[in-house]
Structure 1
Amino acid sequence: MKYLVMVQGTQADYEAMRGKASPGSPAWSEQEVQAMYAYMSAINDDLSETGEMIDGQGLAEPAHTRTVTLGDDGKAVITDGPYSETKELMAGYWLLECESLERVTEIADRITRCPQPEGAPNYPVVIRPVMEGAGDI
């Protein structure tokens, strides 16, 4: 079964990783950022080795977000982000092929243990099965 595993973050979190603290997001040191990248790289390497990894990417910060909606007049309404009302957005993902929900849950548990500075927010890791056909609904 395929699963999308998502990690979340905010614009403040990306800024904290560049050393700019804000309420609820302490500044990260260069060593803390490198430790996080090394941890995530080790997960990626392990998942590639087991053949479970289909794809995985970190996403650009929310400041580079663009939202396209349909306006009342039928024309596209294009808005660039981030927005003060926006909560967490997807910060990265893995598309995995795993034997079971239990296995992908083990992987998500490992992801939650990624090193970060004391006081940094802890976001859930979200697992979503990927529908592969109309019968999956």
Structure 2
Amino acid sequence: MKYLVMVQGTQADYEGMRGKPSPGSPAWSEAELAAMYAYMGAISNDLSETGELVDAQGLAEPARTRLVTAGEDGKPVITDGPYSETKELMAGYWVLECESLERVTEIAARVTRCPGPEGITDYPVVIRPILDGAGDI
């Protein structure tokens, strides 16, 4: 079965990675950033070697987000981010092909051990099964 494994973050977390701290989002050093990227890269490399990796990507900061909705007149309404009402957004993901929910849960548990600076917010890693077709709902 395929699964979407998501890591979360906020605009403040991206700012912290650029050295601009705020409560719950400390400034990252270059060494801490390098350790985080190396850790996440190693996970992707391991999953590629096992044949479980379908895709993996980090996402741009929430400030670069755009929402498109339908207006009352049917024309699109376009809004740029970030959004103060949004707490966490997806910061990156893996699409995995795993034999079981237990296996993908093991992988998510490994993701939770990613290194970072003292005081960083620990977000849950989200696992969502990917449906094969309309009959799976």
Secondary structure of the residue aligned to 2:122 is coil
Residues of 2 paired with 1:83 and 1:35: CA distance? 29
Residues of 2 paired with 1:134 and 1:69: CA distance? 24
Which 10-residue stretch deviates more, 40-49 or 66-75? 66-75
The answer for unaligned runs of 5 or more in structure 2 is none
Secondary structure of the residue aligned to 1:21 is coil
Residue 128 of structure 1 pairs with residue 109 of structure 2: no
Residue 115 of structure 1 pairs with residue 115 of structure 2: yes
Deviation at 1:85, TM superposition (A): 1.8
Residue matched to 1:92: 92
Residue 15 of structure 1 pairs with residue 18 of structure 2: no
Residues of 1 paired with 2:83 and 2:104: CA distance? 32
Which letter does structure 2 place at the counterpart of 1:51?
G
Deviation at 1:91, TM superposition (A): 0.3
Residues of 1 paired with 2:84 and 2:131: CA distance? 33
**Number of residue-to-residue matches in the alignment:** 137
Residue matched to 1:5: 5
> Moved runs in structure 1, 4+ residues, more than 2 A?
none
Question: Scaled by the length of structure 2, what TM-score is found?
Answer: 0.98
Deviation at 1:83, TM superposition (A): 1.8
- Percent of aligned positions that are identical: 81
The answer for unaligned runs of 5 or more in structure 1 is none
What do you get for the CA RMSD once the two structures are aligned?
Answer: 0.6
Question: Scaled by the length of structure 1, what TM-score is found?
Answer: 0.98
Residues of 1 paired with 2:4 and 2:57: CA distance? 11
Residues of 1 paired with 2:66 and 2:11: CA distance? 14
Residues of 2 paired with 1:130 and 1:85: CA distance? 27
CA deviations over 1:70-106 (Å, ceiling 9, x no partner): 1112111100000222210000000000000000000
